[in-house]
Amino acid sequence: MSDLHLYNTLSAQKERFVPIHDGKVGMYVCGMTVYDYCHIGHARVMVSFDVIYRWLSRYFEVNYVRNITDIDDKIIKRAGENGETIGELTERFIKAMHEDADRLGCLRPTSEPRATDHIPQMLDMINTLHSKDLAYQGASGDVYYKVANFSDYGKLSKRKLADMQAGARVETVDDKDNPFDFVLWKSAKPSEPHWQSPWGLGRPGWHIECSAMSTCCLGESFDIHGGGHDLQFPHHENEIAQSEGATGKQYANNWLHVGFVNVDGEKMSKSLNNFFTIREVLQDFHAETIRFFILSSHYRSPINFSDTALKESRTALSRLYHALKPFDVVDTDETAWGSEYGQAFVCAMNDDFNTAQAVSILFEIAGEINKAVKADDMAGGQRFAVILKTLASVLNIAQTAPQAFLQAQIGDESISESEVLAMIDKRKQAKADKDFALADQIRAELKEKGVELEDSRAGTSWRRV
């Protein structure tokens, strides 16, 4: 696997991937804060790292850790607004998160540590930082990280503390030594959940949670740390400061960041009213269409989410299924990886998980299938169909029965399967009666409703477009 190269945000360049321990990979990805339904930006992180996990697992034993933040200001506020306990709120949204990820075809991580289960580890790390003069308690009772005492602060985001201090507008907090110092432990407020600590009753800050959970599950140094691009600063920068400040060792060797999701050209935001949850989008589009849309771009590139883009993705994915439709491909075949297309696919994935290039190779194979069918070379078509399905399996697309995908009714599509079949029977009778005008009219009516008919010697088949 020496040919695998990753773009490392830390070094700002592609590097050959060499795991710390031979044959094993430790990967930590920042997960969800469970106070609401997951949105389409979460979907991109889920799907991107799912494919990275699947690809790495072909060559390594992968310990994939994705945390759950189940204590946080937003969680406390939302539970209060809903009149429910924090436990009730978080359990409900953890269940919803798993439902969404499952529908998007994502494998479960190896482990999903929860913040509230790792308070002792957080306190140990804060105590170590305090003993190294990297943490202090303010007059408010909150404990802060002392960024000025960590010389590498800013190395991930390529920011210099002095420059940030000179140009930033940061809200002044009276008990901070430096406006960029960040909270490690928050002193307890009335009616909020709290734990005992050397600094009094309180609860952890957000950043310390990931440092404690990642090092607890993967060790003081591990191979890959990932998350959304928006977490690069300050969250991941602060994780490095905490973890390396406490251990004196390099925290993560490789940092992978997934690009932004824009909506119709603008950053997704509740304030702009262009915010979509995964389950809202699933009402109108097949889950595999969403997955295909995400994988059609490189994970680091920004993508533009829109109804038009998803409709185009559905049409494109339908082309793969349409090519597979004449063939019965039940199982994948590992020998497919030795083919010309298999080797090209491997090169694409080993180039920083370039799924966009990998998807384009699948379309090349679909073209070969269609050529074989046109030449009545069904044996050749079958061979290429097996290659396509095998390579696509690592992306977890094009794995269901073609007809099931092509005929799937999503959302409020205007015509059901039974209605389509009834109109096909009516058209068949019209053709038998030589009423070709009526037959053409029925075809046109179905096309208006998003259904395309395909006549062959075997009869009439149909698909949604």
Per-residue model confidence (pLDDT) at position 421: 83
Residues 214 and 315 in one domain: no
Q: Are residues 421 and 397 in the same domain?
A: no
Nearest CA to 211 among 126, 90, 111, 109? Answer: 126
How high is the pLDDT of residue 163? 76
Q: CATH no. for residue 353?
A: 1.20.120.640
- The pTM for the full model equals 0.92
Q: Are residues 460 and 349 in the same domain?
A: no
Task: Note whether 175 and 61 are same-domain residues.
Answer: yes
Q: Residue 413: which pLDDT band, with cuts at 50, 70 and 90?
A: low
Shared domain for 366 and 253, answered yes or no, is no
Q: Looking at the structure, tell me whether residues 42 and 117 fall in a common domain.
A: yes
If asked whether residues 387 and 431 sit together in one domain, one would say no
Binding residues: 30, 210, 235, 239, 270
Whether residues 311 and 248 share a domain: the answer is no
| Range with lowest mean pLDDT among 68-72, 115-119, 179-183, 271-275 | 271-275
Q: What is the pLDDT at residue 142?
A: 97
229 and 329 belong to one structural domain: no
Task: Tell how far CA 81 is from the center of its chain.
Answer: 29
Q: What is the pLDDT of residue 330?
A: 86
Does the residue 55 lie in any domain? yes
- Distance CA(392)–CA(345), nearest Å, equals 10
Annotated binding site for Zn(2+): 30, 210, 235, 239
Give pLDDT tens digits for 274-294. 889 999 999 999 999 999 999
Residues 152, 204, single domain; the answer is yes
- Percent residues over pLDDT 90 in the chain: 79
Of 206, 238, 262, the residue at which a domain comes to its end is: 262
Q: In the structure, what pLDDT confidence band is assigned to residue 173 with cuts at 50, 70 and 90?
A: low
Decide: 59 and 255 in contact? Cβ < 8 Å.
no
Structure tokens that stand for 27 in this block:
């990967």
Least confident of 48-62, 69-83, 89-103, 412-426: 412-426
Show the beta-strand stretches assigned E in 61-149.
61-66, 135-137, 143-145
Token pair listed for 323: 């090519």
pLDDT tops 80 at residue 60? yes
CB 216 within 8 A of CB 118: yes
Mean pLDDT of 5-27: 98
Q: Which domain holds residue 424?
A: 417-464
Q: What's the CA gap between 226 and 47, in Å, rounded?
A: 13
Are 175 and 59 contained in the same domain?
yes
Count of domains observed in the chain: 3
Give the other-Cβ count within 10 Å of 462's Cβ. 18
pLDDT in tens, 81-94: 999 999 999 999 99
Whether residues 393 and 434 share a domain: the answer is no
Which residues participate in the annotated binding site for ATP?
270
Report the pLDDT value the prediction gives residue 345, as an integer from 0 to 100: 98
**Within a domain: residue 288?**
no
Q: What is the CATH number of the domain that holds 17?
A: 3.40.50.620
pLDDT above 80: residue 458: no
Contact indicator for 156, 237 with CB cutoff of 8 Å: yes
In a domain, 412, yes or no: no
The four Cα atoms 339, 340, 342, 348 give a dihedral, to 10 degrees, of: 160
In a domain? residue 285: no
